[in-house]
Amino acid sequence: MIRPATAEEVPLAAAILDEATAYVATKGFEQWPVPYPQDELRGRQRAGELLVYELDGEVAAVFVLQRDDVPFWGERPADALYLHKLAVRRSFAGRGIGTQVVEWALARTREEGRSFLRLDCMRDNPEIRAYYEALGFTARGEVDIGRFVCSLYERAA
């Protein structure tokens, strides 16, 4: 079940992002800052953008779904939703949760009358890029955010 995160779940969401960052580091890649800034997540939670994937009564994954993304994509028409910070707890890995989140986000994109689901990921991480490409996303460029360069991806809804 996917639902909005509660205010009480913000520390858990940050911990899940920290766990994902630690896992990606074992593969030699940077991800999010550790500890993940809870103030940012609190703002996303209040805006209804921080979501959780619950399985068997436990939060198995977190993600953010936004209606715009100027820092990464620039000023654009309201034709897309933007998926960020998708992280699955290691204890739930391998169950297709990431794919289910993407499919849910695509359905939400269509429900809102938008044409695309967009996201970004680390340009220098071939595994994550291959993952999103296998899910039907197409590379649409790159953006240098200072700490690293991100690849921009888009999939028609």
> Quick check: is 69 in a domain?
yes
Query: Tokens 């888009």 identify what position?
Result: 154
What is the pLDDT, as a whole number, of residue 95?
96
> Quick check: is 147 in a domain?
no
Query: Tokens 């939670």 identify what position?
Result: 45
Domain count along the chain = 1
> Quick check: is 150 in a domain?
no
**pTM score, two decimals?**
0.96
Neighbour order of strands in the sheet with 50-55 = 2-4, 50-55, 58-66, 80-88, 116-122, 149-156, 138-144
Distance of CA 115 to the CA centre of its chain: 18
> Quick check: is 15 in a domain?
yes
What is the pLDDT, as a whole number, of residue 105?
98
78 to each of 74, 82, 87, 148, how far by Cα in Å? 12, 11, 25, 27
> Quick check: is 80 in a domain?
yes
> Which domain range does residue 91 map to?
2-116
CATH number at residue 110: 3.40.630.30
What is the pLDDT, as a whole number, of residue 10?
98
> Quick check: is 133 in a domain?
no
> Quick check: is 146 in a domain?
no
> Quick check: is 68 in a domain?
yes
What is the pLDDT, as a whole number, of residue 30?
85
What is the pLDDT, as a whole number, of residue 11?
98
What is the pLDDT, as a whole number, of residue 145?
85
Task: Please name the residue ranges forming H helices in 27-154.
Answer: 38-46, 70-73, 97-111, 126-134
C-alpha–C-alpha distance, residues 63 and 76, integer Å: 22
pLDDT, one tens digit per residue, over 29-40 is 888 999 999 999
Low-confidence residues of the chain: pLDDT under 50: none
